Structure 1
Amino acid sequence: MAQQEGRDFLEALKQVTPARIGVGRTGTRPRTQDLLSLRIDHAAAVDAVYGEVSEALMQELGLFSVRTCAETKECYLKRPDLGRMLSAEGEKMILERCLSNPQVQVVISDGLSASAIEENIRDVYPALMDSLEAYGLQQGIPFFVKGGRVACMDAIGELIQPEAFVLLIGERPGLVCANSMSAYLCYRPRKGTKESSRMVISNIHRRGTPPIEAAAHIGTLVSKMLEQKTSGVGFMI
């Protein structure tokens, strides 16, 4: 009876988590099916990190691209600080093409998962634009940052002085999901902004927070941020 209860509990647990639990083994080794599944998911995670967001996708969305000071993927992974700083050419392009003092600035970045952008942005981006428009919010000129870290929003904030900022960025992939995207929100990000001043909606993908639902929620949060003139720990939901 106890063994059956244990099996029932394990099966019930498997229904509510994608984690690898109770996979079993053959002798001292994992079962072939489980080992192959692990290797597939690991390969997907590596591809997400080292992949590139296609230029065709950026053109489809009408976005221009800039890059950070992390000139290569290896540099990006080893020097997170360089992913927070814009290249001189990138700064110049932003100043030339973007609006100064927009109410809401939206930026997209590959981050640690290019596949997260490829997989989700076609749903999230237009729905987010619709949500911001529904709240009557004035939007800046959106663009793409290659090799960006979350705090690149601070460097961008210094340049164009937005009131609210939305950064859509690829999350660090795991062995459960390699295409998860996050949305970081901040009120008036500038150099020196504390991490406690940022807010995030994470796990945006088809098996997590649905992309279109996330976009609508982002619009609501941005509207409240502007009303309260704050974000992060000082924000009241």
Structure 2
Amino acid sequence: MDIGVITPARIHIGRSGARMTTKELLKFRQDHAIAMDAVWSHADEELVKSLGFKVVNTLINDKEEYIRRPDLGRRFSEETLEDIKSTCIHQPAVQIIAADGLSSPAIDANLKDIYGILTDGFKHRGITVGTPIFVRYGRVATMDYISEAVGAEVTILLVGERPGLATGESMSAYMAYQSSASKPESQRTVVSNIHSGGLYPVEAGAQIIHIAEIMLKEKKSGVDLKI
């Protein structure tokens, strides 16, 4: 049986004496390098802007600080929040946010396809969508502050996942009804493993639309939402 057809996990790889074979060692080092690059690279902001996203920054100044200070990657300055309040659509049914997270290549590889599916799908269903926002140096909790600033019903955050040794392009979609910093982490519903070798962006987009419709109807999310 060819295990590689079933899973990209490193099982049954064989050995040379007490060590990995040279082929497997080189593949491991290659995948580790891809994961490192995913963390330290930057998203293509020209792509982001071409899709109509408003770009904002957390309290982080650079990648090194982003790794060392996750707390600052969850917050915005008062000036940034005021800018969001004054320039973005208020009280949308759905607010879409993208953030580089721990894998900028996830944004480059998946955002265009999944965003197109989301906007077309919500428009077809008559669901209003707010001003799309891209968060530079962003972590998951940024969705809470943006949701509060614009008064969104359902907030969707598309963010690069922490890369593993199988892919450096995996994205997750965090979703919440009336997302708020005063609510626990359990408010969030997650669609994960979005990439060409996992859940295809087009399929993920369809799932996210379906879940958002249920959230709008049931007015709940996370552990309180039964799908």
Do the two structures share a fold, i.e. TM-score over 0.5? yes
For residues 133 and 143 of structure 2, what CA distance do their matches in structure 1 show?
Answer: 12
The answer to whether residue 103 in structure 2 is matched with residue 113 in structure 1 is yes
**Greater mean deviation of Cα atoms: 24-33 or 88-97:** 88-97
> Deviation above 6 Å: which 4+ runs of structure 1?
none
**Structure 1 spans left out of the alignment, 5+ residues:** 1-10
Shift of 1:54: 1.5
The answer to whether residue 66 in structure 2 is matched with residue 76 in structure 1 is yes
Partner of 1:166: 156
Partner of 2:185: 195
**Structure 2 spans left out of the alignment, 5+ residues:** none
For residues 89-133 of structure 1, give each alpha carbon's deviation from its aligned partner in whole angstroms, at most 9, with x where no partner exists. Answer: 422321222112111100000000000010111110111111111
Partner of 2:213: 223
Shift of 1:218: 0.6
Query: Which residues of 2 match residues 20-59 of structure 1 at below 5 A?
Result: 20-59=10-49
Shift of 1:12: 5.1
SS of structure 2 residue aligned to 1:59: helix
- The answer to whether the Cα contact below 8 Å between 2:49 and 2:55 also exists between their aligned partners in 1 is no
**Greater mean deviation of Cα atoms: 71-80 or 119-128:** 71-80
For residues 40 and 124 of structure 1, what CA distance do their matches in structure 2 show?
Answer: 28
Query: Which residues of 2 match residues 10-25 of structure 1 at below 5 A?
Result: 11=1, 13-25=3-15
TM-score, scaled to structure 1: 0.92
The answer to whether residue 146 in structure 2 is matched with residue 156 in structure 1 is yes
Query: Which residues of 2 match residues 72-151 of structure 1 at below 5 A?
Result: 72-151=62-141
**Greater mean deviation of Cα atoms: 76-85 or 174-183:** 76-85
Q: Percent identity, aligned pairs only?
A: 45
Q: Which has the larger radius of gyration?
A: 1
The answer to whether residue 173 in structure 2 is matched with residue 183 in structure 1 is yes
Shift of 1:13: 4.0
- The answer to whether the Cα contact below 8 Å between 1:135 and 1:223 also exists between their aligned partners in 2 is no
For residues 157 and 177 of structure 1, what CA distance do their matches in structure 2 show?
Answer: 30
SS of structure 2 residue aligned to 1:29: coil
Partner of 1:5: none
For residues 134 and 234 of structure 1, what CA distance do their matches in structure 2 show?
Answer: 27
For residues 14 and 118 of structure 1, what CA distance do their matches in structure 2 show?
Answer: 26
For residues 167 and 202 of structure 1, what CA distance do their matches in structure 2 show?
Answer: 11
